[in-house]
Amino acid sequence: MVVSDLWFLAEEASQRAEQARQRLRERYSGYLDDRCDRRVSRRRFRTLARRVKRTGAPYGAQTIVSRGGGDGDENGADEVLLVRHEGADLWVLPGGEVRRGETYRETAVRELREEAGIGADYRGLAVVERVDIRCSECETWGVLPVFAATAEGATPRARDPDGEISAARWFPFEDLPADTRDRSDLLAWRDRTAP
């Protein structure tokens, strides 16, 4: 009975994910489509499937915040804002879980303020990642919307109320830390948006 309950939850989550993806397609254009696989325990699967069923997104929404290098480099030596997530032990994009009644963009804005202490000028959707989630018995999927924003001259300060974020820093795209999650996606987005 546990497996069939989990299967039913997975089906409901997949339907909600499809609705979320369709709404993103209707509202935004010009973003990168990406896909990743996550193999998780049955317990973690249940948690993520419940989030997807509620919001369409297992991990919420994120923001790629960039700023110009200001050094006169015609290639635009841009920097990206990353936050240090202690639970993952990685540098990541600011972002987090969707609250009831929030849009993905509202989530991204709130999480940026909470995790890095700055605001930014949002330009649209940069990436929509399809996250395929599997455990030994079931599979489902959800979306991970990643917005693009700029924040010239902003000085970030880690001030996460959840205590997961220990630092917030600007990094040149050419010199991302070795332990940056989604490094190839960040570089692909930068290359696609370069003049």
The CA–CA distances, whole Å, from 192 to 86, 97, 184, 189 equal 30, 27, 12, 5
pLDDT reading at 178 higher than 50: yes
pLDDT band for position 75 (50/70/90)?
very low
* pLDDT tens per residue across span 6-29: 999 999 999 999 999 999 999 999
Is 92 in a helix, a strand, or coil?
Answer: strand
pLDDT of residue 53: 97
How far, in Å, CA of 151 to CA of 191, rounded? Answer: 19
pLDDT band for position 91 (50/70/90)?
very high
Q: The domain 2-193 is classified under which CATH number: 3.90.650.10, 3.40.50.300, 1.10.3720.10, 3.90.79.10?
A: 3.90.79.10
- The pTM for the full model equals 0.90
Alpha-carbon torsion (39, 40, 46, 48), positive or negative: negative
Contact by Cβ (8 Å): 9, 58: no
pLDDT band for position 97 (50/70/90)?
very high
Domain ranges for the chain: 2-193
Residue carrying structure tokens 């006169």: 72
* pLDDT tens per residue across span 20-65: 999 999 999 999 899 999 999 999 999 999 999 999 999 999 999 9
